[in-house]
Amino acid sequence: MSEKSTAGAWLVKSLLTDESGQDLIEYALVAALIALGAIAAMGSLRNKISNEFNAVGNSL
């Protein structure tokens, strides 16, 4: 085998067994899930908050 093909095989093997980026992806997925939950909660609270501000404005 030539030196280039040996280095190429080593590179492919190391990329397939490397798990160093796995934690970062997991944290990104958790952050995205939290963001989606926050967006959904804010959407449902939007009308309630608006009504409360209107009530306070009307009473002033």
Query: What's the mean pLDDT in 18-46?
Result: 85
Token duo for residue 14 = 């190391």
Query: Tokens 């926050």, residue?
Result: 38
**pLDDT at position 31:** 94
Cα–Cα dist 30/33, whole Å = 5
pLDDT > 70 fraction of the chain, expressed in percent and rounded = 83
Domain limits of the chain?
20-60
More confident of the two residues 5 and 7:
7
pLDDT band at 53 (very low <50, low <70, confident <90, very high): very high
Q: Is the pTM of this model over 0.75?
A: no
